[in-house]
Amino acid sequence: MSRIDQLFGSLDRPAFIAYLVAGYPDFETSLSASGALIDAGADILEIGVPFSDPLADGPTIQRAHQSALEGGMTQNGVFNLVKEVRRDYTTPVVLLAYANHLIARGISRFYEDAAAAGVDGVLVVDMPPEECEEARLNAEKNAIDQIFIIAPTTRDHRRDMILQKSAGFLYLVSVLGVTGVRHRLSPETLAFVRDLRSHTPVPLAVGFGISSPDHVMPLAGAGADAVIVGSGIVDIIGRSIAGQPSAHDELAAFARDMREACNNCSKMNRS
């Protein structure tokens, strides 16, 4: 059983998944931010592997990818970041990558190096389920959960294919479009979560636009097992570039608020 499976099996509340971009704004800051998020209550740390063309991401995370690359962050740097996190924490770590990362490094080597660093799960944003078999088998070989993304527009036959191949959890896109902070949840998003909940026991993690503790209760009530916050966290981390000493404290406070919202949504209290 993977660390991700153990986590979801042990929780009676939604998990809080915190996302950041490796190397943004620099290696040490992303390492410090990783520790701050975990210490403040993040249940899973999701690390974005910087990419030159992150089409699934909105402006905030796109800028972070570009900044990290300009600062010299590489795949080796990402794996070194995970190793540093793993020295102090057993918290599950998931890499969010693009297919070019796997192709450039070689699929088998990517997963071998990820496992050696201490990675628990990999989500390849632009890898369709029809073309995932080599990656999925290498993930399985290295005891890594291959995580898939599913959107409201995913057709039933592709949804069923994804459900058969998924491990760890499913990443649900809450809205159409790219990542970014949004201030309200639509009824369509909650209906999407409820519908998918009826088709699978695999944990459901909702991302894209989740930015507030107020989002947690409705999603939990619809059947979500986790919430993923990305742009809101990356935005706070980015303030350290401007030399704002309060950015670290703000990050920790935000993470604590998200975790508290999750704590207030035990499975027994979900409507």
Catalytic residues: 46, 57
Q: How far is the C-alpha of 212 from the C-alpha of 210, rounded, in Å?
A: 6
Q: How far is the C-alpha of 155 from the C-alpha of 158, rounded, in Å?
A: 5
Query: How is residue 47 written in tokens?
Result: 């690390």
Q: How far is the C-alpha of 260 from the C-alpha of 254, rounded, in Å?
A: 10
Q: How far is the C-alpha of 153 from the C-alpha of 140, rounded, in Å?
A: 28
Give the phi and the psi of residue 229 in degrees, each rounded to 5.
Answer: -115, 125
C-alpha distances (whole Å) from 105 to each of 24, 56, 81, 260 are: 21, 21, 17, 39
Query: How is residue 190 written in tokens?
Result: 């909650």
C-alpha distances (whole Å) from 18 to each of 43, 63, 113 are: 8, 18, 22
Query: How is residue 105 written in tokens?
Result: 């490094």
DSSP string, 151-190: -TT--HHHHHHHHHH--S-EEEE-SSS-----S---HHHH
User: First CA to last CA across the chain, in angstroms?
Assistant: 29
Q: Residue for token digits 């519908």?
A: 195
Buried b (16+ CB within 10 A) or exposed e, 231-244: bbbbbbbbbbeeee
